[in-house]
Amino acid sequence: MLSGTGPADPAEPAVPAGDEPAVPAGDADELRQRARDFLASHDPATLPKLGFLRARFDAGLAWVHYPPGLGGLSLPRSLQSVVDAEFAAAGAPDNDPIRNGIGLGMAAPTILASGTDEQKQRWLRPLWTGEEVWCQLFSEPGAGSDLAGLATRAVRDDAGQDWRVSGQKVWTSLAHRARWALLVARTDPDVPKHAGLTYFACDMTDPGVEVRPLRQLTGEAEFNEVFLTDVVVRDRDRIGEVGEGWRVAQGTLMNERVAIGGGALPREGGTVGIVAAAWRAHPELRTPGLHDRLIRLWADAEIARLATERLRQQLAAGQPGPEGSAAKIVFARLNQELSALELELSGADGLRYDDWSQSRTETVSFVTRGPGYRYLRARGNSIEGGTSEILRNIIAERVLGLPAEPRTDTRVPWKDLPR
C-alpha cells in the first residue's frame, strides 16, 4: 500500500518545464487562460478553502485528464502541470494530496475505470477535495502476497439485496482517518480463489468496523488492523460485477505501484537530493568508498527518474500495465540504499532518533523527518504495494514472458485449499 514516502511528495518542487512531455501549445495556452479566468472570479485569499476546492473541481481544473463533470476536461494528463503552476502562483490552497494518497492514487482511478456513473458522481468530488479520505482493505493475516486467497466473507443479507461482511484485515494505512475503504471480499468459496471475489466500497463509519493501531518499526502507527463484524455494505457500493473482484483489484494494484514508484521528480529530487546535501555538508566524513557509492546511486536515481518520466508519458494514454512494477522495485531499492548512505554521512547524528512516540500523523513525509526515520521507514518500501519478490515474478511472467511459477491452487475451489 501506498504511503506518503514515495517520490510524489508535494514538498518536492515540480518537474522543470524542460522535462515535461510535449503538449500542443494551443491546448496549454487555452488551459492556462482558463485557469487564470477561474482565479479571477474565485479569489483564493477570500474564499473558504473547501468552497474554493469544490469550485475548482466543478470547473474541470482538478485533474484535467478526467472527464468533464468529474473534475476534468478530458485533456492529456501532462497538461496538469500547467494548471497546477497557475494555482500555485496565485497562492491557492491545494487538496493536501499526501493526506489522501490512497484515495487519489488508487481509489479514484478504480472508480473511474470500474464504477457506475452514480458512483463516480457520488465519490470523486469529495475524494478530490479531501473531504473523504479512503483506505485499502486488501491484506489479511493469511493473505498478503497471495491476495487472491483472502478469507473475509461477504454474504447477501436476508432480503438478498445488500451484503454482510465479516473478517479481519491488516496493515491498513489510514484506516483511522478514512471515511471509505476499497474492500475485496470472498462472495463465493465454492469456485477457485480468483473467481470468488467481489470488490466493494466499505463505509468505515459502520458500527461493525473496528480499527486498532499497529505500531511499526519507526515508532508511529501509520497502519492498523481492521476487524469487520457483520458490516452492512450496500449493493449500490459494489464496484464491478459479483465475482469480478480480482479484475478490479488488479487495476487498483497497478495504479498503486505507479503511485508509489512513479512520481514526477526534478533532477536530485527525493531521497537522492537529501543524500547529496548530506555529502556536501560533511566533507570531513568523505571517503573514496562513500564517494563511489554516492556517484553510483546518483546515476541510478537519475536513470530511474528519466525512465519513470517515460512511463508517465505512456500512462497518459491509458491505465498502467505491469511495467509500473519495475518503477516500484527500483524506487524501493534506491530509497533503501540511499537512506543507508545518508545515515553513514550523518556521522554521530545518524544515531539520534527524532520522534519515538506512537504518532498517528496524517501525512508521512520523508522530507520533514530525520535520517534515522528515513532509514527505518524505507524498509517498508519493498513490502508495501507488493513485495519486490512478487513484483519480479510479475515482470518475469507478464513483461518478459518467462514460464509461470508452478501453481497448484488455481483450479481447486477456495474452500478446499489447505489453510
Ligand X SMILES: Cc1cc2nc3c(=O)[nH]c(=O)nc-3n(C[C@H](O)[C@H](O)[C@H](O)COP(=O)(O)OP(=O)(O)OC[C@H]3O[C@@H](n4cnc5c(N)ncnc54)[C@H](O)[C@@H]3O)c2cc1C
User: What is the enclosing helix (H) or strand (E) of 274?
Assistant: helix 271-281
Q: Considering the candidates 256, 323, 342, 344, report the single residue annotated as catalytic.
A: 256
Adjacent-strand bridge partners of 231 = 165
Q: Report whether 319 contacts 311 (CB < 8 A).
A: no
**Torsion angles phi and psi, residue 34, rounded to 5:** -60, -45
Of residues 378-417, which lie at the interface with ligand X (CB under 6 A)?
Answer: 380, 383-384, 386-387, 389-390, 393
User: What is the enclosing helix (H) or strand (E) of 185?
Assistant: strand 180-186
* Minimum CB distance to ligand X smaller for 78 or for 139: 139
**By CB under 6 A, residue 256 contacts ligand X:** no
Closest to 58 in 3D by CA, of 73, 43, 46: 73
Q: Report whether 300 contacts 334 (CB < 8 A).
A: yes
**By CB under 6 A, residue 224 contacts ligand X:** no
Grid cell in block for residue 147: 491476495
**By CB under 6 A, residue 220 contacts ligand X:** no
Question: Which amino acid belongs to residue 362?
Answer: E
* Minimum CB distance to ligand X smaller for 78 or for 136: 136
**By CB under 6 A, residue 144 contacts ligand X:** yes
CA–CA dist 215, 144 (Å, integer):
18
Of residues 364-383, which lie at the interface with ligand X (CB under 6 A)?
Answer: 380, 383
**By CB under 6 A, residue 361 contacts ligand X:** no
Q: Mark 156-185 with x for binding to ligand X (rule: CB under 6 A) and - for no binding.
A: ---------------xxx------------
- Helix runs in 59-207, H state only: 80-89, 101-102, 108-114, 117-129
Interacting span for ligand X (CB under 6 A) from 8-16, 130-138, 152-160, 305-313: 130-138
Residue whose beta carbon is closest to ligand X:
144
Concerning whether 256 is annotated as a catalytic residue, the answer is: yes
**By CB under 6 A, residue 313 contacts ligand X:** no
CA–CA dist 212, 37 (Å, integer):
47
Interacting span for ligand X (CB under 6 A) from 61-69, 105-113, 135-143, 303-311: 135-143
Question: Known catalytic residues?
Answer: 256
- Chain residues in the site for ligand X (CB under 6 A): 1, 3, 135-136, 138-139, 144-145, 171-173, 223, 380, 383-384, 386-387, 389-390, 393
